[in-house]
Amino acid sequence: MFKVIVVDDEPSALDHICTIIKNKNPEYEVIGTADNGLEALEMTRSLEPDLVISDVRMPLMDGIKLVSEIKNELPEIFTIIVSGYQDFEYAKGAIQSGTYDYILKPILPSNMKMVLEKLAIILRKNYFLERKLIIHKLVNGKSCEENKIQKYFPYKEYYCAIIRKNGLLRRFAADSNVEIYPESHEIMTIYGRDEMESLYILPKELLVGKTFEEYITGVKEKGKTNNQYITLIYGNHSFPVSKLQEKVKELYRTLDTVSVVGLNQVLNIDNPFLLKEIEFNSSAIKKVLENLECLVKEQQYDKFKKELKRLYQKWLEEKKPQLWTEHISHQIIYIVNKYNKEAFSLIECEYMLEDTFFYAETIEELVDNLLEIIFKYVRNSEEYYKVDTIEFFNSILLYLENHLSEDLSLQVICKKFTVSQTYLSRMFRKYTSESFNQYLISMRMNKAIEIMQNDSEKYIKDVAAMVGYYDQFYFSRVFRSYTGKCPTDYLVGISLQG
Q: Are 51 and 116 part of one and the same domain?
A: yes
What pLDDT score was predicted for residue 381? 42
Mean of the pLDDT values across residues 167-180?
A: 72
In a domain, 385, yes or no: no
What pLDDT score was predicted for residue 177? 66
Mean of the pLDDT values across residues 143-162?
A: 89
Q: Are 116 and 8 part of one and the same domain?
A: yes
Q: Are 7 and 121 part of one and the same domain?
A: yes
Amino acid at 351: Y
Can you give the residue range of the structural domain that contains 351?
278-378
In a domain, 143, yes or no: no
Q: Are 413 and 348 part of one and the same domain?
A: no
What pLDDT score was predicted for residue 445? 94
What pLDDT score was predicted for residue 323? 92
Task: Please state, in angstroms and rounded to a whole number, the distance separating the CA atoms of residues 24 and 113.
Answer: 6
* Residue pLDDT, tens place only, 309-347: 999 999 999 999 999 999 999 889 888 887 776 656 677
Q: Are 217 and 284 part of one and the same domain?
A: no
Bridge partners, 200 (sequence order)? 161, 190
Task: Please state, in angstroms and rounded to a whole number, the distance separating the CA atoms of residues 326 and 349.
Answer: 13
Q: Are 96 and 29 part of one and the same domain?
A: yes
In a domain, 422, yes or no: yes
What pLDDT score was predicted for residue 320? 92
Question: C-alpha distances in angstroms, 218 versus 135, 402, 439, 440?
Answer: 24, 33, 30, 28
Q: Are 374 and 478 part of one and the same domain?
A: no
What pTM was computed for the model?
Answer: 0.80
In a domain, 144, yes or no: no
* Residue pLDDT, tens place only, 71-125: 999 999 999 998 875 666 666 665 666 788 888 888 899 999 999 999 998 998 8
Q: Are 306 and 407 part of one and the same domain?
A: no
* Residue pLDDT, tens place only, 55-79: 888 888 888 889 889 999 999 999 9
Residue 19 has pLDDT above 90, yes or no: yes
Domain count, the chain: 4
Q: Are 181 and 72 part of one and the same domain?
A: no
The residue from 234, 268, 302 where one domain ends is 268
* Residue pLDDT, tens place only, 286-299: 888 999 999 988 88
CB 301 within 8 A of CB 313: no
In a domain, 46, yes or no: yes
Q: Are 285 and 254 part of one and the same domain?
A: no
Lowest pLDDT segment from 5-9, 134-138, 439-443, 447-451: 134-138
Task: Please state, in angstroms and rounded to a whole number, the distance separating the CA atoms of residues 36 and 66.
Answer: 9
Q: Are 462 and 493 part of one and the same domain?
A: yes
CB 244 within 8 A of CB 138: yes
Q: Are 304 and 329 part of one and the same domain?
A: yes
CB 32 within 8 A of CB 49: yes
